[in-house]
């Protein structure tokens, strides 16, 4: 059974992988370790540089990945815009005329705006909880 994790992998598979793929992977790791060393003003990579190079190659690195502010907060931005739009749709009839003559009940739009505002507050609470939890994990 090929998908059985308990089955033994034949030795020739390891030899083939070692011969065909490992030199290219190791050269990439070496190059990245040299880059990490030069970023810290060292001429020779340390064990930590090599470990970080392997980590970045196979795990993707640890730590915050840089993203644009728009991409990180896209959901929040959309929810804030929806809150403002629905809030204005609910308030404008009260500000510029008689709300009974508009043809709809402006209170419904205010209720929707309140729901979106609740999403903003809930999202902020979630971010705060995640930040506290990540500080606990890091020690």
Residues 90 and 127 in one domain: yes
Tell whether 6 is covered by a domain: no
Whole-number pLDDT of residue 4 = 59
Better-scored residue on pLDDT, 114 or 76: 114
Residues 52 and 76 in one domain: no
Distance CA 37, CA 43 (A): 6
Domain that holds residue 74: 69-138
Q: Are 46 and 37 in contact (CB under 8 A)?
A: yes
pLDDT reading at 12 higher than 60: yes
Structure tokens given for 13: 């598979």
Residues 47 and 86 in one domain: no
What confidence tens digit (pLDDT) does each residue in 21-49 have? 888 888 999 999 999 999 989 999 998 88
Q: Are 91 and 106 in contact (CB under 8 A)?
A: yes
Residues 123 and 74 in one domain: yes
Q: Are 116 and 77 in contact (CB under 8 A)?
A: no
Write the DSSP string, 81-119: HHHHHHHHHHHHHHHHS-GGGSSS-HHHHHHHHHHHHHH
pLDDT reading at 101 higher than 90: no
What confidence tens digit (pLDDT) does each residue in 50-97 have? 888 888 888 765 555 566 777 767 888 888 888 898 888 888 888 887
């Amino acid at each position: 059974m090929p998908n059985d994790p308990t089955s033994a992998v034949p030795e020739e598979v390891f030899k083939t992988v070692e011969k065909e793929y490992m030199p290219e992977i190791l050269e990439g790791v070496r190059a990245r370790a040299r880059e990490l060393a030069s970023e810290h003003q060292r001429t020779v990579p340390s064990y930590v540089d090599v470990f970080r190079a392997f980590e970045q190659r196979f795990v993707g690195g640890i730590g915050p990945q840089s993203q644009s502010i728009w991409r990180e907060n896209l959901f929040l931005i959309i929810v804030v815009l929806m809150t403002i739009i629905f809030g204005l749709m609910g308030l404008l009839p009260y500000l510029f005329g008689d709300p009974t003559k508009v043809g709809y009940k402006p209170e419904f739009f205010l209720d929707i705006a309140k729901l979106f505002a609740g999403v903003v507050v809930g999202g902020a609470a979630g971010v705060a909880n995640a930040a506290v939890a990540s500080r606990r994990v890091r020690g």
